[in-house]
Amino acid sequence: MCGIVGYCGPQSAVTPLIQALRRLEYRGYDSAGIALGVRGKLFVEKRAGKLANLENALDIELPVVHSGIGHTRWATHGGPTDRNAHPHVDNDGKLAVIHNGIIENYSQLRLTMQERGHTFSSDTDTESVAYLLSDLRKEHNGDLVVAMREAVKILRGSFTLVAIHADNPDVIVGVRRNSPLVVGLGEGENFLASDVAAFINHTKRAIELGQDEVVMITPTTVEITDLDGAVIAPREYEISWDASAAQKGGFAHFMLKEIFEQPKAVADTLIGRLSDNKQIVLDELSMSVQEIRALKKITVIACGTAYHAGMIAKYAIEKWSKIPVDVEIASEFRYRDPIITPETLVIAISQSGETMDTLMAVRHAKAAGARVLTICNTHSSTIPRESDAVLYTHAGPEIAVASTKALLTQMIAVYLIALHLAQVNGALTDEQIEGLYIELLALPGKIEMILETVEPLRALTRSFADKNTVLFLGRNIGYPVALEGALKLKELAYIHAEGFAGGELKHGPIALIEEGTPVIAILPVADEHALDQKMLSNIQEVKARGACVIVIAQDGVHVEGAQHIIRIPVVSALLQPVLATVPLQVFAYEMALARGNDVDQPRNLAKSVTVE
């Protein structure tokens, strides 16, 4: 989950490295460091804490060099201290390495390196890699590329490694295994990074790297080889967004900007999905009519916020297409021997496409013979590359750690899949599908309406800043919305928050209610099951026990028993989560602000979870 960057080119390396680290700080902000390629001996500086601490330490006269590597850390092995910060350097002070991921056999490797006389100064699993690379380089006549290939054959785990040596500082070498690394192709300069955001203000040309591929960059060349040394042809692609998309654009925080970008993100994900003859166009599925009709089951795998999108997928797919759906937490999926057959479609949901738990679940599903469709926001990332098909959302870069627009576009993606499956199965008529699609097209405008009237909600939220518990209630498709509201509040406000199915309230959770406890209830759309009336009964139950009740309800719906009502536009029941989620995002954002927390970089969290 760390941020990695390497630079070779005509610029003084400090500037592009610090710029890149600033763009990557969302990936980890426990510490940061750089190593500059000074010929003969490296210049290394690293500091615990936010990137600003490193920048302050670099406010000195620095050597003018044109290559270097940089790192922002999310701590795994060893606490967030100066000595555990990356880069890690060999005992000669000439080789520096930065690392994302986990080296699983580091304990044995550390013992081996100590037996060879290497002296350790950190608690990390990475330092042993610096010594291993140093030894291997000496064994192979100073060839850092060969040393990297041989090191990867020894190492176990999921990792990205990038290294530089003072004897040849214009060469930077990297490798990836189950962890992201991309190449940026500039004019007379080249980059390595864990995310294209690192170099988007320099170039929009990038090269994707495959599993166990070793890359060497200089200012003018890029060479990719496999672990046997065979040269691999570059797979170049164009980045579809520009540098301004990764900037705040006048908003106080990335999260607030991304909340307000949701109408466009939803519209971009929907555009062009209905043909003139009322057919849902979803060519990305790459499945024939016969294959879809042969499906016996769909299993959705995801983590965190994406898991809530998966829960919504279950309601929509089962209701519209009549195919049974299981929703699994990806980190638990492969450890319980799930029943997977060739008639199973596995839908993996990951914003980054690098979520390690989801990636390993995908591999398990494919090994069992399932077809895998991924919903992802990041082109050329690992999970889409290893899937049979991918449906890209069009949220654009999401920098804030707490996911907002990625979630709403994931919801749109699962609705489109559900409609496509229903169309093929004949479970819905063409007229019904067209009607639902038209209603989907109206969602961006309705999100805009919510955002235009959000100021009273922000003011209301500040009145709850001293509360240490907030409970969320939902029924049916409102239940995953309640779970998402609670997750956002935990992530940002650092308070106890839980989401419950309304019918479960009397089975235990109501014991948590005491005088003044805020309870946010998502009122369902009225249906044949009278779920709205059942939720109104839940509201009366918690109010009678002293709760302060906030209800999210559609315009025009009469609500009794609530102290506060947040209105959202009218929409069909299955589509309500797209609108009901937005006020909960604003609530969490404003609560974090009121409590003085870092909105974009909440403590202990990183954007992309690339370790198990």
554 CB-near residues (< 8 Å, 6+ apart): 523, 525, 567, 568, 569, 570, 571, 576
Q: CB neighbours (10 Å) of residue 335? A: 10
Integer Cα distance of 394 and 527 in angstroms: 32
Which DSSP string do the residues of 23-59 spell out, in sequence order?
HHGGG--SEEEEEE--TTS-EEEEEESSHHHHHHHT-
Which residues 6+ apart lie within 8 Å of 357 measured at CB? 303, 330, 331, 609, 612
Element containing residue 441 per DSSP (H, E): helix 430-441
CA 247 – CA 147 distance, rounded (Å): 38
Pairwise CA distance, residues 90 & 118, whole Å = 8
Task: Quickly count helices (H) and strands (E) in the chain.
Answer: 19, 24
CA angle 46, 49, 51 (to 5 degrees): 65
Residue 590: partners with Cβ closer than 8 Å, 6 or more residues away: 457, 458, 461, 462
348: three-class secondary structure by DSSP: strand
Q: Do 540 and 570 touch, CB atoms closer than 8 A?
A: no
Nearest in space to 107 (alpha carbons), one of 77, 73, 139, 148: 77
- Strand pairing of 3-8 and 518-522? unpaired
* Type of residue at 285: L
Q: Can you tell me which residue has the tokens 């404003």?
A: 590
Instruction: Give DSSP secondary structure letters for 241-307.
Output: S-GGGGS-TT-SSHHHHHHHTHHHHHHHHHTT-B-TTS-B--GGG---HHHHHT--EEEEEE-HHHH
- Beta-sheet strands, E only, within 468-582: 469-474, 496-501, 518-522, 548-554, 564-568
Q: Which residues are catalytic, by number?
A: 2, 607
Q: Are 96 and 42 in contact (CB under 8 A)?
A: yes
Q: What is the DSSP string of 409-425?
A: HHHHHHHHHHHHHHHHH
**CA atoms within 13 Å, Cβ hemisphere of 455:** 1
- DSSP 8-state assignment for residue 526: P
Q: How far apart are CA 423 and CA 470, in angstroms?
A: 41
CA dist list (Å): 539 to 406, 532, 549:
31, 11, 7
- Measured CA to CA in angstroms, residue 586 lies from 260, 352, 589 at distances of 10, 23, 5
